[in-house]
């Protein structure tokens, strides 16, 4: 009887100035298992789930398109928070495609990356989920591309609030047109950020942004207040995780945390998708 498990890391995209460009994998991993069965079912925490979520739909479509029987048991162990800016949707798609590819015989990371982006839509989150580490990603006339970047830090502190953000709604808060000065500001900061990484340095100013963070923080006044507190009281890079509302800091800080928030101390994961058995 065929059975295979894969794990996929949480990811944080944008990293301040790297809007829709940078992403990094963290050692908080979801696990998905597929095994042969006489009927289709999805189980999480020992409970059978009704309906079909993103993982179930993706697995079914892949198996059907590749001439496989869709009667399988999917067992999920999910620890990446949903709607918090930590790449839960990218992890779902990558794990579903990855476990399906492994179940049917082989995994092609580059094909997995391309297909996952087509489904999920955010290469900056998908790339580190597939390849691990830090990635810079872009859409080109030939398709999506992603390159690895050396990371001069090994851990992040992530503050997770008790409320969620919809990626689609957060995107609607952004301006469709930006000032030339804002575009130049981000290009300069991103250049400083990447040049610093190449030298093994972490330059706080490289994480500054004028394209997305302030607009997204306006949706959650509590997050905006806490972000401004962290950014002004600690001499460490501070940024919104993905579209928010979680807040990331490079390094370890111990501020007074707002009620209901959680502090996660996470290491950078050099591995993306992993076959666990």
Residue 227: CATH number of its domain: 3.30.70.890
Whether residues 104 and 163 fall in one domain:
no
What average pLDDT does range 14-43 have in this prediction? 95
CA dihedral 190, 192, 198, 204 (to 10 degrees): -90
Whether residues 210 and 146 fall in one domain:
no
Cis peptide before 245 (omega within 30 of 0): yes
What length is written for the chain? 277
Assess whether pLDDT exceeds 80 at residue 218: yes
Q: What distance in Å separates the CA atoms of residue 269 and residue 166, rounded to the nearest whole number?
A: 25
pLDDT grade for 245, boundaries at 50, 70 and 90: very high
Whether residues 90 and 188 fall in one domain:
no
pLDDT grade for 106, boundaries at 50, 70 and 90: confident
Whether residues 24 and 68 fall in one domain:
yes
Whether residues 28 and 130 fall in one domain:
yes
CB 59 within 8 A of CB 34: yes
Contacts of 40 (CB under 8 A, 6+ apart): 56, 60, 70, 71, 72, 73
- DSSP helix/strand/coil, 136: strand
Whether residues 168 and 33 fall in one domain:
no
Question: Which ranges constitute the DSSP H helices of the chain?
Answer: 54-65, 88-103, 109-120, 123-131, 167-172, 180-198, 213-217, 221-233
What average pLDDT does range 193-221 have in this prediction? 95
Question: Which ranges constitute the DSSP H helices of 132-267?
Answer: 167-172, 180-198, 213-217, 221-233
What average pLDDT does range 139-152 have in this prediction? 92
Res 34: pLDDT = 95
Q: What distance in Å separates the CA atoms of residue 270 and residue 171, rounded to the nearest whole number?
A: 29
Q: What distance in Å separates the CA atoms of residue 141 and residue 96, rounded to the nearest whole number?
A: 27
Mean pLDDT (the chain) is 93
Q: What distance in Å separates the CA atoms of residue 249 and residue 238, rounded to the nearest whole number?
A: 5
Res 136: pLDDT = 96
Residue 107: CATH number of its domain: 3.30.230.10
Which residue range is the domain that position 212 belongs to?
155-267
pLDDT tens-digit profile of 55-87?
A: 999 999 999 998 898 999 999 999 999 999 999
The residues with which 137 forms a beta bridge, in sequence order, are 146
Name the domain count of the chain: 2
CA dihedral 123, 129, 133, 139 (to 10 degrees): -10
Pick the closest to residue 24 from 126, 165, 138, 139 (CA basis): 126
Assess whether pLDDT exceeds 80 at residue 221: yes
Whether residues 183 and 134 fall in one domain:
no
Whether residues 162 and 82 fall in one domain:
no
CB 135 within 8 A of CB 147: yes
């Amino acid at each position: 009887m065929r059975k295979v498990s894969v794990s996929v890391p949480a990811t944080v995209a944008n990293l301040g100035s790297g809007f829709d460009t940078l992403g990094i994998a963290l050692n908080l991993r979801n696990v998905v298992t597929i095994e042969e069965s006489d009927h289709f079912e999805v189980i999480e925490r020992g409970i059978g789930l009704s309906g079909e979520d993103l993982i179930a739909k993706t697995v079914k479509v892949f198996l059907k398109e590749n001439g496989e029987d869709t009667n399988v048991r999917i067992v999920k162990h999910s620890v990446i928070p949903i709607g918090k800016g930590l790449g839960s949707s990218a992890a779902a798609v990558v794990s579903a495609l990855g476990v399906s590819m492994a179940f049917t015989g082989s995994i092609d990371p580059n094909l997995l990356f391309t297909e996952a982006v087509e489904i999920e839509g955010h290469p900056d989150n998908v790339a580190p989920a597939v390849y691990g580490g830090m990635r810079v990603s872009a859409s080109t006339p030939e398709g999506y591309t992603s390159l690895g970047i050396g990371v001069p830090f090994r851990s992040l502190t992530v503050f997770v609030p008790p409320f969620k953000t919809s990626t689609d709604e957060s995107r609607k808060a952004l301006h469709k047109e930006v000032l030339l000065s804002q575009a130049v500001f981000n290009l300069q900061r991103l250049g400083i950020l990447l040049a610093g990484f190449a030298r093994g340095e972490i330059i706080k100013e490289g994480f500054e942004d004028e394209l997305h963070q302030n607009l997204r923080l306006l949706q959650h006044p509590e997050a905006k207040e806490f972000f401004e507190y962290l950014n002004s009281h600690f001499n460490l890079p501070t940024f919104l995780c993905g579209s928010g509302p979680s807040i990331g800091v490079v390094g370890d800080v111990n501020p007074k945390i707002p009620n209901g928030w959680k502090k996660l101390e996470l290491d950078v994961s050099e591995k993306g998708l992993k076959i666990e058995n």
